């Protein structure tokens, strides 16, 4: 099985140092083999600034697995980058985008078992002309360019105690009731059920759909959307043979006995999913993109410009993302 491809993310953030630290912990933390797609000079400079002595080896993806036990394998970018911890630069955007493109390309070429992405920041990318709303949309476009098929990416926050999937994501809370449709709930739920089976190895996935309103609308007294939009979607999913329950009151869905009754929570908006996922396991939760023709995971945190270069960034979420990517790749192969 090939190693994992790690795109370095925004080099002004913590991506370079958590990748360095993850490699340093490869033996004690059971980190699977990966290669980092980055500017080797920047990685060396960041390691030096942190007082780290890292045996870095510039290589091709095919050489990375053999090198990994003794060297940090770095597949070099064509676009050089400037090491500026905490100060995002538009001039670094070309390399950030290149790393993502090449990671996806290596996954399609069979040179990488999965794609693991370090955090990016939208502002410097937008300043450089990046035309996509975010990381996930860009990955979907790259996948479509390779497959010539439309992809629907679905965000999952996967932790040791909870898998949570938001139906609506980066929109204002006031816009959620207008954006929420039975069709969108069905699409997200079907993709989640399919990939829980194919990639997570769960024979008959169980889904729990949250309500939108307090008490799941309480029969219409606290909102009509639960009965008008969510319940019909649940009925369709059940008729298709998917093990599903809902709409359930969101305030009673996330304690331990409730979590034991389902394999993934389908939530109606961003914070309804991400708050319980991060509250339960902030450092171990992984962002997984479902619905792509390759495996993609990412830490559940951002660039953390405020601590970049200070040697305090924890690699826990990146290590969890690497481990989960390897597990999903192994399950998919089987």
Judge whether residue 196 has pLDDT over 80.
yes
The CATH number for 4-151+292-333, chosen from 3.30.420.40, 3.40.718.10, 2.40.10.480, 3.40.50.920, is: 3.40.718.10
Residue 277: name the closest of 259, 303, 257, 304 by CA. 259
Contact in structure between 149 and 39 (CB atoms under 8 Å): no
> To which CATH superfamily is domain 154-277 assigned?
Isopropylmalate Dehydrogenase (3.40.718.10)
Angle in degrees, CA 320, 265, 6, rounded to 5: 25
Residues 185-206, mean pLDDT to the nearest whole number? 97
Report residue 128's pLDDT band, with 50, 70 and 90 as the boundaries. Answer: confident
Tell me if 96 is assigned to a ligand binding site: no
Checking if the pLDDT of 334 tops 80, the result is no
Structure tokens at 254: 């996330």
Is position 270 annotated in a ligand binding site? yes
Residue 278, marked binder: yes
Other CB atoms within a 10 A radius of the CB of residue 316 amount to: 20
132 is in an annotated binding site: no
Distance CA 166, CA 186 (A): 12
- Above pLDDT 70, what percent of the chain? 100
Q: Which residue has the tokens 């690497």?
A: 322
Give per-residue pLDDT as tens, 219-235: 889 899 999 999 999 99
Identify the H or E element spanning 233. Answer: helix 231-239
Give the pLDDT confidence of 148-171 residue by residue, as tens digits.
999 999 999 999 999 999 999 988
Annotated ligand binding at 136? The verdict is yes
User: Can you give the pLDDT at residue 333?
Assistant: 83
Asked if residue 285 belongs to a known ligand binding site, the reply is: no
Judged against a pLDDT cut of 90, whether residue 213 lies above it is answered with yes
- CATH 3.40.718.10 residue ranges of the chain are 4-151+292-333, 154-277
Q: Two tokens at 278?
A: 């991060």
- 135 marked as binding residue: yes
Work out the average pLDDT over 18-41. 96
Distance of alpha carbon 26 from alpha carbon 202, whole angstroms: 28
> pLDDT value at position 59?
97
Residue 135: pLDDT band (50, 70, 90) is confident
Q: pLDDT of 283-332, one tens digit each?
A: 899 999 999 999 999 998 999 999 999 999 999 999 999 999 999 999 98
Q: Which two tokens stand for residue 45?
A: 């400079």
* pLDDT score, position 92: 94
> What is the reported pLDDT for 52?
85
- Establish whether 287 is an annotated binding residue: yes
């Amino acid at each position: 099985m090939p190693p994992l491809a790690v795109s370095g993310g925004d080099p002004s953030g913590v991506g370079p140092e958590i990748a360095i630290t993850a490699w340093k912990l490869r033996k004690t933390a059971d980190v699977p083999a990966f290669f980092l797609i980055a500017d080797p000079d920047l990685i060396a400079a960041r390691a030096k600034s942190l007082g780290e002595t890292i045996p870095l080896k510039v290589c091709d993806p095919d050489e990375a697995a053999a090198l990994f036990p003794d060297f940090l394998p770095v597949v070099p970018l064509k676009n050089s980058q400037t090491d500026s911890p905490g100060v995002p630069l538009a001039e670094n955007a070309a390399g950030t985008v290149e790393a993502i493109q090449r990671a996806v390309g290596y996954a399609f070429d069979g040179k990488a078992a999965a794609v693991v992405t370090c955090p990016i920041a939208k502002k410097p990318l937008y300043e450089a002309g990046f035309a996509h709303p975010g990381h996930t949309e860009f990955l979907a476009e790259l996948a479509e360019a390779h497959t010539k098929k439309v992809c629907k990416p679905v965000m999952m926050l996967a932790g040791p105690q909870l898998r949570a999937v938001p139906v609506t994501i980066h929109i204002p809370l006031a816009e959620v009731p207008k954006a929420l449709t039975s069709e969108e709930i069905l699409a997200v739920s079907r993709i989640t059920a399919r990939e829980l089976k194919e990639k997570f190895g769960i024979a008959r996935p169980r889904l729990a759909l949250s309500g939108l309103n307090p008490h799941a609308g309480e029969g219409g007294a606290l909102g009509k959307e639960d009965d008008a939009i969510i319940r019909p979607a649940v009925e369709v999913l059940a008729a298709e043979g998917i093990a599903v329950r809902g709409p359930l009151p969101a305030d009673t869905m996330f304690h331990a006995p409730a979590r034991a009754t389902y394999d993934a929570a389908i939530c109606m908006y961003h914070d309804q999913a991400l708050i319980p996922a991060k509250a339960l396991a902030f450092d171990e939760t992984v962002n997984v993109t479902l619905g792509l023709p390759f495996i993609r995971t990412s830490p559940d945190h951002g660039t953390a410009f405020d601590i970049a270069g200070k040697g305090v960034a924890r690699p826990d979420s990146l290590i969890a993302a690497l481990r989960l990517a390897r597990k999903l790749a192994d399950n998919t192969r089987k």
